[in-house]
Amino acid sequence: MVRLKSFLVCAPTIGLFSFALTSQVFAQNPAQIDQANKTITSSPALEFKTSTHAFPFTKPKNAGLFLEVAIVTDPKLPQINQDLIAAALESAAKTFEIRFGLQKPHFVVTSSLSVSEFMKQAPLETSKYCLSQISKRYRGTGPQEFEPYEQKAKKFLKKWSLKSLTSFVTDSKIKRSPTYDGVYEHLIERYVTTVQRLAETKTRSQQPLVRPKYSTEQSFAAWNCALREQRNFDVIITNAFIMADIMSEPHPHAFFGKAKVGGIATLNPHRNALGKAALLATTFAIDTPITWLSELDGKPALPKERAEILGDYLLAHEIAHAIIGIPDVYDHPAECLMTSRPNQSYRVGLQLLRRHQKPCSRCRKWVDAYRAYHKAVKMLSNNRPRSALRYLSRASKITPKHFHGGYRRKMSDISYLVAKAYGEIGRKSRSLKFARRALELNPRSKEAQNYLETITSTDTEP
Ligand SMILES: [Zn+2]
Ligand SMILES: [Zn+2]
């Protein structure tokens, strides 16, 4: 997950379905206009379709990283401006290329739907994973709710150095002599107070912003599950308010901050474009009239800046979580897209990034591991298994342990490819060993399961 931490600058909202089809901004490539489906392509990296439902579409040849986008709207909150989305997607694609030196993604908006329609796409009440996650959500009744999750939550916090966590601490005694236990207690105290304030906060129409005791509509646990279980989209853009609430995984910038989630990147076994992942970013923080939750520091922002906050600061950040596996960090230099700083608004964060237009040297190790892995994938598809093995060996050595999406899962993916490469050069026992290792590291890996079944059935053939 996440940028967390908004206002009312409410730019004029164009109704979602009255999207400016004739806008010159989007009509730069008339060849891409499909009158039947009212599809408009504004640039090679961006495509829009307008519909209350999903439209069928054809993936362009050689599109590279091709991402299907849905707009998910909460009717209670300020609506999403279509021009903002178009510009933000374009901005996210460019930023991703500049910051990480990787090919920019191509986005196509294929659907628009309400929050409740979106949530229906996920089996929230039957999926074992969802039920388990939702059972760990904070219901706003006080610090005692955290007791059953204390050990897991402390283990989760230990992914970060004490020094980097201490940047969020405001208690002077804990700041002077920090311990994980002290930081954890302080985090719970701050979070419980923040959620109390959120529960007392009203929307412009005087409805409660969030009802942690009764409803999962604004729950990160529920959104994360829906994003993980739905089968139709790689990217969701929403205007919803999402509250960080999984007690066993207290993401420091959210729990020490406003308990607000700006984006999510999570696993999704059904989506391949981002490597079995899906992601989300919300415009809530850019459009809310609620001053204390605003990320624009109470001052109006021009459309360009708003689009850059959504595109550069939120979307590109989530893409990097999903594709490269870089986790949230708190101590990288000013040019780092993945660093959250205490009390830093999105606006200030974006300004800092603009002044430092270069890749982050400390994120480099994740980018190098990503490159090695993808070189291996390419070599395998070009029937060069020996070269693939060299790249896989490098990837397994340099993949950082703190890895978004899970180190064991990544190592399972690597082992699976090693098994395939050995299989292709006829070394069956080694292939078998690595296929088993892949499954041991990630028992849910369908690829490893299928591969193991294939090679073992081949082995027993008369
Ligand atoms: Zn993040
Ligand atoms: Zn960095």
CB 306 within 8 A of CB 391: no
CA of 257 to the centre of ligand 2 (A): 20
Which stretches of 230-302 are DSSP H helices?
252-255, 284-287
User: Relative to the alpha carbon of 362, which ligand is closest?
Assistant: 2
Query: What single-letter DSSP state applies at residue 443?
Result: T
Gap between the terminal Cα atoms of the chain: 50
Residues in the chain: 462
CA of 406 to the centre of ligand 1 (A): 14
Domain boundaries, the chain: 16-124+207-358, 364-459
Q: 205 φ, ψ to 5°?
A: -90, 20
pLDDT per position in the chain (462 positions), as tens? 444 432 222 222 222 222 222 222 222 232 332 332 333 333 434 444 444 445 455 565 566 789 999 999 999 898 888 888 999 999 999 998 888 988 889 999 999 999 999 998 888 888 888 999 999 999 999 999 999 999 999 999 999 999 999 999 999 999 999 999 999 999 999 999 999 999 999 998 899 999 999 989 999 999 999 999 999 999 999 999 999 999 999 999 999 999 999 999 999 999 999 989 999 999 999 989 899 999 998 788 889 999 999 999 899 999 999 999 999 999 999 999 999 888 889 999 999 999 998 899 999 999 999 999 999 999 999 999 999 999 999 999 999 999 999 999 999 999 999 999 999 999 999 999 999 999 999 999 999 999 999 988 865 444
CA of 151 to the centre of ligand 2 (A): 28
CA of 61 to the centre of ligand 1 (A): 31
Say what angle helices 364-381 and 407-424 make with each other, to 10 degrees: 30
List pLDDT tens digits, range 250-267: 999 999 999 999 999 999
CA of 330 to the centre of ligand 1 (A): 10
Nearest-5° Cα angle at 135, 133 to 140: 110
User: Relative to the alpha carbon of 364, which ligand is closest?
Assistant: 2
User: Relative to the alpha carbon of 164, which ligand is closest?
Assistant: 2
User: Relative to the alpha carbon of 340, which ligand is closest?
Assistant: 1
> Has domain 16-124+207-358 been given CATH number 3.40.390?
yes
CA distance 391 to 376: 5
CA distance 366 to 324: 6
Show the tokens assigned to 319: 């893409």
Strand order through the sheet with 106-114: 39-43, 46-49, 106-114, 66-73, 235-238, 277-282, 263-267
User: Relative to the alpha carbon of 360, which ligand is closest?
Assistant: 2
CA of 166 to the centre of ligand 1 (A): 18
Show the tokens assigned to 422: 């050995």
CA of 29 to the centre of ligand 2 (A): 35
CA of 365 to the centre of ligand 2 (A): 10
CA of 273 to the centre of ligand 1 (A): 19
CA distance 367 to 374: 11
CA distance 282 to 88: 12
210-219 contacts at long range (C-beta below 8 A, 24 or more positions apart) = 210/241, 210/243, 212/137, 212/138, 212/139, 212/140, 212/243, 212/245, 213/139, 213/140, 213/141, 216/124, 216/134, 216/137, 217/115, 217/119, 218/242, 218/243, 219/134, 219/137, 219/243, 219/245
List pLDDT tens digits, range 407-416: 999 999 999 9
CA of 112 to the centre of ligand 2 (A): 33
CA of 356 to the centre of ligand 2 (A): 12
CA of 335 to the centre of ligand 2 (A): 7
CA of 435 to the centre of ligand 1 (A): 31
Task: Please name which of 333, 360, 310 lies closest in space to residue 98, comparing C-alpha atoms.
Answer: 360
Show the tokens assigned to 266: 């999570």
CB 162 within 8 A of CB 183: yes
CA of 361 to the centre of ligand 2 (A): 7
Task: Please name which of 281, 299, 279 lies closest in space to residue 291, comparing C-alpha atoms.
Answer: 299
- Architecture of the 364-459 domain: Alpha Horseshoe (1.25)
